[in-house]
Amino acid sequence: MKILIATVLVASSVAVPSQAVAAGPDQPLAVPSQAMAMQKDLGLTEQQVKDRLKVESAATKLVPTAQRAAGAAFGGVWYDSAKQKLVVGLTNPATAAAVRATGADVAAVPITAKQLDQRKAAVDKLAGKAVPAAVSGWSADPRTGGVVVNVQAGKRSAAVDAFVAKVSKAGPVTVREVAAQAPRTFAAGTVGGDPYYTGNVRCSIGFSVYGGFVSAGHCSPGVGARTFGWDGSAQGVFRGSSFPGNDYSWVSIDSGWWTVPVVLGWGQVSDQLVRGSWVAPIGTSICRSGSTSHWHCGQVLAMNETVNYGNGQLFYGATKTSVCAEPGDSGGSFITGDQAQGVTSGGWGNCSSGGETWFQPVNEILSTYGLTLHTA
């Protein structure tokens, strides 16, 4: 299935991406075949999926307008599934009426989104590389204006407490108990299927860009290393990669290969066209395609999270999801409807018992390397 080799996925970050393509006021971000996968993975009825996708798509498209209305008081956004509304955090109630006029709800927050990003960056700096293994990672929480440190269940220790005390110098920190399993990347040894290979490692293609595709950085042996397609034939060359710190790479493809704006559905859903990179807010639905576990869906749980993969390997700026993944899925596509979100990095668990997965937002990759997402 050469389409997988030719297909690459991209993702977006928290802010409105410069390369986002407007879907139009009546064009939903989700597509019918993804709705089928969401019924299975999220335990929803067909009508519940339709209703959910309608309001989530509207909320996603509302973000740039609501952010402009908030102005300097903008404190971040998230989706309230109970109210089925986009929520905009505000540090100044004077802009509340203007934000509500866009159709969004408002909530008071202690600091602006810019200040929260600075606080999260300060925590990253204070943390350094010597992070206790029991600390899975940490993320910025726009709802509280603080940073949440995730500690694996039953593994809190004096070392963890010392770490929390150290990073608390940057501002308020909350400790949250999470799954006992530690995060890991999802690369895998060579097996059959529809992957791409680098040496004895198998990963998944993310999104097509003009001239090649983007994927995960930990899949790359280094700039100049060759990749090989599903059939073992020479495919391309890594032109850039970054891991740890980030987790992204891009590959320029050889003649005989081509790019298409498609994400593989693996027969579970129709192959998905990529039309842009609107960012799905926290709380909204998202799906993933990978060469091992194929197609699965879940929700966006957090943005701008730092993930601790152990041994000093930290991944900054990740988006956390409730979607499962398995070894070999690394680099694969995260997509909401026809909007690219990012490339699979790692997680914990599997697609039999469940788990969580982080991805590298795609718009950062495009910006870093000056790439253009191939869209339909």
Catalytic residues: 218, 247, 330
CB 328 within 8 A of CB 151: no
Which residues touch 288 (CB under 8 Å, ≥6 apart)? 295, 296, 297, 298, 321, 323, 325, 329, 332, 333, 334, 335, 344, 357, 359
Strand partners, 154: none
Two structure tokens written together for 357: 């997965």
Torsion of CA 154, 158, 161, 167, to 10 degrees: -130
CA atoms of 183 and 14, how far apart (whole Å)? 22
Which among 53, 366, 76, 328 is positioned nearest to 240, based on CA atoms? 366
Residues contacting 364, CB < 8 A, separation 6+: 11, 13, 246, 248, 317
